[in-house]
Structure 1
């Protein structure tokens, strides 16, 4: 077997582990990931699974990265070409709500679930979750700031406050979808966003 072929197979195996791990962690939490379970479900040895990451924490961090790639593909990429400011902010909120509505992750927003799981637990995983939220909030603040500068939002709009409120709307929608199975939650979230950003 050539080194190139071997490296490609190793990457495919690693991807398979990550894909299964994301599905499990979305529904059961990052702590729900066990090397034994992954090995059994993927038909691998425990050492074969851990050999791709080195530790459970490294696996959890890799899973966060993979979930981030999915979120970026589902929410950011569709609006990348949208004009900055209010048009992009509206589009981001729509894609964000759609991502929940379509059940991209079986357990709802992966990062909201991870935040609830790790917000009171110091360590590298918590820091990685916080960094993801900081980056996303920063994107919302940036677009809100551009919209305010362009005069597309009411006078006195504070970008940080607006971003805070938009995040609250979508987190409430995630809660309603996941806990209450409320089919009206996405529509309620869209109405709330329109009230903040205009039709």
Structure 2
């Protein structure tokens, strides 16, 4: 066992970490509204306790800032959508709780402009591939892979039909969630989230989940015998 005294905390590093976090916390909201291309060191310096040169020192370049913002958005999304559902049993219960958490994430404006990744995908979808676009694509693909895994676990637990097409079901789920976000943000449709929830529930029932439980229930019923 070492008897040497621990190295003193590097105060400059701690201050740098706090400054970086403050910039990213604001930048993800700004990017969800104005796009990743709308981020500038100057505009952020006007709303965070870090000056323009300090932000440049933290991220190096606009692309460095954009990549850091995408990575930070992934962390926020995971905390808001993925982690709350992990208390549920694997399979249909966890899948459904993840869907509800996603709807809450959009409805509660965890990002000011709605879903960060829908906004970023719309901004970057026709762009020439590059590091920032690739980072957004990787995040979206990882999300789909995660949902496919939850669907397949539901099939393995016989909560969905044995022949259920996981990729097709996830496509339908994504479509409902993305449409809800767009309809709420752009069209100010207050019923968008209820419609999305019913659409996903219907897709799950069509994929083999049992018919609805008690009247008014928003979740698929227990698996068919």
TM-score after normalising by structure 1:
0.95
Q: Rg larger in 1 or in 2? A: 2
Shift of 1:104: 1.1
* 1:70 aligned to which of 72, 76, 88: 76
The one of 185, 191, 201 equivalent to 1:194 is 201
Q: What are the superposed Cα offsets for residues 154-196 of structure 1, whole Å, 9 maximum, x if unpaired?
A: 3421001111110011001011011101000011011111111
Verify: 1:53 aligned to 2:59, yes or no.
Answer: yes
TM-score, with normalisation over the residues of structure 2? 0.84
Alignment RMSD (CA, Å):
1.4
Tell me the residue number matched to 2:21: 15
What is the alpha-carbon distance in structure 2 between the residues aligned to residue 60 and residue 22 of structure 1? 9
The 8 Å contact of residues 90 and 197 in structure 1, kept in 2 or not, is answered as: no
Higher normalized helix content (fraction of residues): 1
**Offset, 1:84:** 1.1
Corresponding residue number in structure 2 for 1:177:
184
- For residues 43-89 of structure 1, give each alpha carbon's deviation from its aligned partner in whole angstroms, at most 9, with x where no partner exists: 54322111001110010010111111111111111111211111111
- Equivalent residue number for residue 103 of structure 1: 109
User: 1:37 and 1:92, CA in 2 relative to 1: closer, same or farther beyond 3 A?
Assistant: same
CA contact (8 A) 2:81 2:102 kept: yes
Alignment partner, residue 87 of structure 2: 81
Over 3 Å counting, the alpha-carbon distance change for 1:82 and 1:3 in structure 2 is closer
**Structure 1 unmatched ranges of 5 or more:** none
Gaps of 5+ in 2: 1-7, 206-219, 221-225
